Amino acid sequence: MKKAAIIGSGIGGLSSAIRLAAKGYMIDVYEANNSYGGKMRETKKKGFRFDMGPSLLTMPEKIDELFFLSNKNPRDYFKYVKLDEGCRYFYDDKTIIRGFTDIDKFTKELNEKVGVSEKKSRDHINKNTFIFDSTSFLFLEKSLHKIKTYLSFKVFIAFLKLPFLQIFQSMHSANSKRFENKKVVQIFNRFATYNGSNPYKAPAVLNSISALEFNKGAFYPELGMFSIATALYNLAVDLGVRFHFSTLIEKISVKNDVVDGLFVSEKLYKKDIIICNQDIHFVYKNLLPKRFTLKRILEQERSSSALIFYWGIKKKFSNLQLHNILFSNNYEEEFKKLSANQTIYDDPTVYINITSKMSKNDAPNNCENWFVMINTPNDIGQNWEEIIVSARKNIIKKINNVLDVSIEDYIVCEEMLTPKLIETTTQSFRGSLYGSSSNSRGSAFFRHPNFSNQISNLYFCGGSVHPGGGIPLALSSSKIISELIN
């Protein structure tokens, strides 16, 4: 039986373990932290439970697929529901737009709230769906770094569609040409943040991301986002995968440019295959022999990071949903501060996730658990203590102004996650959430491959490599690896 090692137990690592175990491999997963999940973690405090990482579930069929190929019923491990309202959008002038996942409801909402014709909204969503359908097979399901990928009729057709996929203009340019209404442009621009990018720089082909929410739907796991990681962990264990927590890999052993094994506590464990579910920067910097380098990818612009507050709130807010966005009044200036000035705008866009709206046990009676996040630049040595103090004040000011409340009066407990903490707890270089940004065509499509061109039997999965960050893409990376190993 062939032996495979997986370094890291994030979603990409867990799904890779499941796929290889289902093929009959003997799998060992090595995790530096004391539990599984990677960025998908949870914390509990004073009766409140918080998902600490990803908060939105799309394309749950990619998770179900792992159970089906293992001859298991996914509903025996976890359940999820489709959301009627994907997100609720709030503006300084008290306008509220409900982001229904049903296209008919959403286009009607835009017409009623801001006067945008239903046809114009529908045409835009249909265009974005066309982009998604035209690109997903190639960019999300196949390695872009293997010649055989391009030797198929389906891929040939996809390339013929490229001139119609808006790859030569920015997301904002495409959205503002379609809509004159600033509020609607903001809604579609914000999907760039799903992979830590800037809508004023990222190619418009990334508008395809919105098709997931407005066309395919948004979902919620009944026990919260961390239950996804728990379900995958339990499935992996049922398949015989062995987990080694609080275990730091010292280096990967390479002989004659072929993977030989890995060192733990100065002991070599022989392996036939190694899959790294770790930020690609740290793999090359810390685990591989110094003769193996990859400057071009490592020098790409990093994605944004985040500042997150986990607040226990002793009040229920009926005007808030599971997902809520309180938009900055000057979105373009906010992104200029993030990218050009590497700091935070004093009127930030605030995202509030409240899982107790769906999972009542996540907060005590008449309380709510608030996951409050703003986008930040990645860590390049800024004075974060000063930035965080200022940002917290501006976040509270934003919430108070938009919701007509004094939110400080209701905060009963608080935890915080910063770019520096994101790096130390998840091994994400500079605290960037998605590895490289997608602010250019090259970085959007040609991220680090899922395999090593220099070392045989070494593979890479997760958000810092192809096809990118987020749950569906991390799952896709493991599927690509499985096919490459075949």
pTM for the full model? 0.93
Kindly report each contact of residues 133-137 with a partner whose C-beta sits within 8 Å and lies 24 or more positions away, as own/partner: 133/211, 134/158, 134/161, 134/164, 134/165, 135/165, 135/205, 135/208, 136/208
pLDDT of residue 427: 86
Can you list the domains of the chain with their CATH numbers?
Answer: 3-40+223-300+440-485 (3.50.50.60)
Q: What are the structure tokens assigned to 212, written together?
A: 């997931």
At residue 302, the pLDDT reads 81
484 pLDDT higher than 60 = yes
> What does the pLDDT look like over 346-367, one tens digit per residue?
999 999 999 999 999 999 999 9
- Strands of 323-326's sheet, edge to edge? 96-100, 85-90, 323-326, 350-353, 368-376, 305-313, 411-417
Whether the upstream peptide bond of residue 467 has omega within 30° of 0, thus cis, is yes
Residue 446: is its pLDDT beyond 80? no
pLDDT tens digits, one per residue of 33-57:
999 999 999 999 999 999 999 999 9
- Model confidence at 136, pLDDT cuts 50, 70, 90, reads confident
> What letter represents residue 368's amino acid?
E
Question: Using CA atoms, how far apart are residues 6 and 463, in angstroms rounded to an integer?
Answer: 15
